[in-house]
């Protein structure tokens, strides 16, 4: 942690002090964690920024914060200050008993910045985000660059846990993941995220050196190049059709058995049963599984059907939107998929969530 309490309850931060001042403090004062009130010690070696740490690992939220996290938190604090943006470090919010890494004031808005390098449970992340909103504070979560699982420049693998950190501030704002690497001093933004599989995504990836980045730039709307999306999707589709199924992959094995029982295979399914969509995170199943179910059980068998019928068919495989507290607008993944089918001439909508099949194959 960057701040600790003294015996009189006042707070002190070390990163603005000289080595001599820190040495004097060690001899004159005792320091306490502002969260759990346990005594903490000063860490001020040559390779780390001066900070406080628990003497032993505890259940406190500040226990186990490493140098990567502390460096990043200080970087962001100074980054806001250099832009003349009012910012406070590790402020305790009594109403919700939370202590965000940074608290930022922008006009009438208050923003809680959480720099999350370690893994916490989805339940804890949702709880904290909702608590901030309950007192009119906007939560923004910046993940540590150490959590990025890159596949290529604009592709990465997102776990179900990390998908909960996708931001969308309004309907026209593209799905965005924020990362900051405290070693390389870089922001990495993935915007306009589209899922190619259950966890592999492609997005507009932009890198901003810390000293060149501005707060405003982090919220600039940027779209993924459609040519890149189509190229990556075609590769994924071909790879999926031709790769063998690992024996331990029960979902894929069960899916292909189901296809066989319905007189299909991955090679006879049309290409539009494996389309990349932005809202795949709301599904427990890979895109080709639920899209194939809609194709075989609705598009092939019926001339007309409703969005409610489709949702009922897949109801047990949908994730509640409340699991994604940073998405301000809910775009139904099945509705998004049907919109794509309308564009390529498979379906036609009457505007009342009723769809008519125009043609089955392309």
107 and 87 inside one domain: yes
pLDDT at 22: 75
- Report the alpha-carbon distance of residue 353 to residue 193 in Å, rounded: 26
108 and 30 inside one domain: no
Strand partners, 158: none
71 and 218 inside one domain: yes
As a whole-number percent, the residues of the chain with pLDDT over 90 amount to 75
110 and 201 inside one domain: yes
pLDDT at 247: 77
Question: Is the per-residue pLDDT at 261 higher than 70?
Answer: yes
46 and 149 inside one domain: no
pLDDT at 6: 78
Closest C-alpha among 276, 348, 264 to residue 305: 348
Residue 51 lies in a domain: yes
CB atoms near residue 101 (< 10 Å): 24
Residue 231 lies in a domain: no
3-state secondary structure the chain: CCEEECCCCCEEECCCCCHHHHHHHHHHCCEECCCCCCEEEEECCCCCCCEEEECCCCCCCCCCCCHHHHHHHHHHHHHHHHCCCCEEECCCECCCCECCCEEEEECCEEEEEEEECCCCCHHHHHHHHHHHHHCCEEEEEEEEHHHCCEEECCEEECCHHHHCCCEECCCCCCCEEEEEECCCCEEEEEEEEEECCCCEEEEEEEEEECCCCCCHHHHCCCCCCHHHHHHHHHHHHHHHHHCCCCCCCHHHHHHHHHHHHCCCCCCCCCHHHCCCECCHHHECCCHHHHHHHHHHHHHCCCCEEEHHHHHHHCHHHECCHHHCCCECCCCCHHHHHHHHHHHCCCEEECCCCEEEECCCCC
- Report the alpha-carbon distance of residue 358 to residue 304 in Å, rounded: 10
Residue 239 lies in a domain: no
pLDDT at 358: 94
pLDDT in tens, 148-180: 999 988 999 999 999 999 999 999 999 999 999
180 and 300 inside one domain: no
CB atoms near residue 244 (< 10 Å): 6
Q: What is the mean pLDDT of residues 227-232?
A: 96
Closest C-alpha among 96, 276, 123 to residue 202: 276
Q: What is the Cα 231 distance to its own chain's centre?
A: 24
Residue 235 lies in a domain: no
Q: Which CATH number does the domain housing residue 202 bear?
A: 3.40.1350.10
Question: Is the per-residue pLDDT at 288 higher than 90?
Answer: yes
Question: Is the per-residue pLDDT at 258 higher than 60?
Answer: yes
Residue 105 lies in a domain: yes
Question: Is the per-residue pLDDT at 9 higher than 90?
Answer: no
89 and 202 inside one domain: yes
Average pLDDT, the chain: 90
119 and 196 inside one domain: yes
Residue 124 lies in a domain: yes
Domain residue limits at 12:
1-62
Tally of domains in the chain: 3
pLDDT at 5: 75
190 and 165 inside one domain: yes
Bigger pLDDT: 64 or 343? 343
pLDDT at 53: 78
pLDDT in tens, 338-359: 999 999 999 999 888 899 999 9
pLDDT at 58: 60
pLDDT at 65: 59
pLDDT at 59: 53
pLDDT at 337: 97
Question: Is the per-residue pLDDT at 15 higher than 90?
Answer: no
pLDDT at 228: 96
87 and 218 inside one domain: yes
- Report the alpha-carbon distance of residue 333 to residue 324 in Å, rounded: 14
Q: What is the mean pLDDT of residues 2-8?
A: 73
52 and 153 inside one domain: no
The model's pTM is: 0.84
Residue 236 lies in a domain: no
Q: Which of 45, 62, 79 is the last residue of a domain?
A: 62
Closest C-alpha among 82, 100, 80, 104 to residue 92: 100
Bigger pLDDT: 30 or 102? 102
As a whole-number percent, the residues of the chain with pLDDT over 70 amount to 93
Residue 229 lies in a domain: no
249 and 209 inside one domain: no
- Report the alpha-carbon distance of residue 328 to residue 101 in Å, rounded: 22
- Report the alpha-carbon distance of residue 83 to residue 88 in Å, rounded: 14
Question: Is the per-residue pLDDT at 142 higher than 90?
Answer: yes
pLDDT at 54: 76
Residue with tokens 């190049």: 225
């Amino acid at each position: 942690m960057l701040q600790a309490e003294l015996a009189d309850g006042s707070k002190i931060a070390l990163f603005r002090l000289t080595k001599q001042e820190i040495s004097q403090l060690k001899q004159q004062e005792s320091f306490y964690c502002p969260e759990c009130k346990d005594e903490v010690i000063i860490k001020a070696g040559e390779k780390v920024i001066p900070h406080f740490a628990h003497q032993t690992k505890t259940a406190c939220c500040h226990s186990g914060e490493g140098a990567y996290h502390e460096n990043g938190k200080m970087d962001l604090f100074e980054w806001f200050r250099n832009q003349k943006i009012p910012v406070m470090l590790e402020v305790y919010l009594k109403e919700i008993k939370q202590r965000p890494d940074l608290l930022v004031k922008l006009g009438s808005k208050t923003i809680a910045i959480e720099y999350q390098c370690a893994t916490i449970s989805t339940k804890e992340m949702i709880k904290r985000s909702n608590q901030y909103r309950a007192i009119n504070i906007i939560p923004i979560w910046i993940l540590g660059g150490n959590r990025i699982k890159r596949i290529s420049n604009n592709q990465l693998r997102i776990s179900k846990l990390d998908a909960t950190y996708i931001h969308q501030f309004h309907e026209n704002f593209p799905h965005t993941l924020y990362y900051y690497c405290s070693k390389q001093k870089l922001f990495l933004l993935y915007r306009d995220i589209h899922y190619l599989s259950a966890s592999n995504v492609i997005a507009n990836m932009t890198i901003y050196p810390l000293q060149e980045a501005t707060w405003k730039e982090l919220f600039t709307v940027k779209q993924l190049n459609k040519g890149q999306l189509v190229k990556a999707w075609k590769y994924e589709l071909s790879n999926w059709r031709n790769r063998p199924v690992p024996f331990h992959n029960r979902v894929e094995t069960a899916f292909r058995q189901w296809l066989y029982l319905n007189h299909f295979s991955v090679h006879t399914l049309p290409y539009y049963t494996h389309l990349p969509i932005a809202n795949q995170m709301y599904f427990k199943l890979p895109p080709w599984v639920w899209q194939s179910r809609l194709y075989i059980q609705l598009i092939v068998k019926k001339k007309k059907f409703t969005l409610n019928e489709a949702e009922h068919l897949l109801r047990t495989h949908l994730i509640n939107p409340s699991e994604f507290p940073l998405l301000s607008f809910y775009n139904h993944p099945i509705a998004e998929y049907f919109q794509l089918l309308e564009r390529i001439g498979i379906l036609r909508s009457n505007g009342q969530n009723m769809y008519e099949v125009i043609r089955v194959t392309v």
